Amino acid sequence: MIILMWRILMSRVFRSNYRVYYEDTDAGGVVYNANYLKFAERARTEVLRSLNISQDELMRKEGTMFVVRRIEIDFKKPAKLDDLISVETIMGEFKGASTVWQQNLFFEKINLCSIKVQLVIVNRNLKPIRVPELLKSSLCG
């Protein structure tokens, strides 16, 4: 059942919008490269929130959390101060304890960068575990 749900969700694109502030840029007014990862992280959190999944609750009740195992990023165009960027996130299905999500950042339909992130669910001891019940019930409920 959970695999079927992940396949359904995989076809959905989640969108979040963020304004580029001065603190996000370098001296030239261009978004500093590490800050693209911050925008992507915020968007992943918003995807989970939209599915009524609280990362805090996962940690408190299930003793589990999402951690990043691997990130691939392909920079195409720079974002600049005051740009309103859109982050599109496509969730991948879980295979054991991990999943790969694709994220694309846009400004006015121009692809700024593409990010492929592998997430792993771990317990309090940082050991990979299968999808916890709270997460399953949130996705299937």
- Where residue 135 falls (left for φ over 0; alpha for ψ -120 to 50; beta otherwise) is alpha
Specify the pLDDT at position 3.
Answer: 46
Distance (Å, whole) CA 7 – CA 12: 9
Distance (Å, whole) CA 51 – CA 131: 15
Annotation says 56 is catalytic: no
Specify the pLDDT at position 51.
Answer: 87
Specify the pLDDT at position 11.
Answer: 56
Q: Is 130 helix (H, G, I), strand (E, B) or coil?
A: coil
CA neighbor of 65 nearest in space, from 117, 118, 129, 121: 121
Specify the pLDDT at position 116.
Answer: 98
Structural domains of the chain, ranges and CATH numbers in brackets: 2-129 (3.10.129.10)
Question: Residues 120, 69: contact at Cβ < 8 Å?
Answer: yes
Block means of pLDDT (10 residues each) for the chain, length 141 residues?
45 90 96 97 94 88 92 98 97 87 97 97 94 62 44
Question: What sign does the CA torsion over 27, 30, 34, 40 have?
Answer: positive
Specify the pLDDT at position 54.
Answer: 87
Q: Is 59 helix (H, G, I), strand (E, B) or coil?
A: helix
Question: What sign does the CA torsion over 35, 16, 20, 107 have?
Answer: positive
Question: Residues 85, 65: contact at Cβ < 8 Å?
Answer: no
Catalytic residue among 24, 26, 74, 83: 26
Q: Please compute Rg for the chain using Cα positions.
A: 16
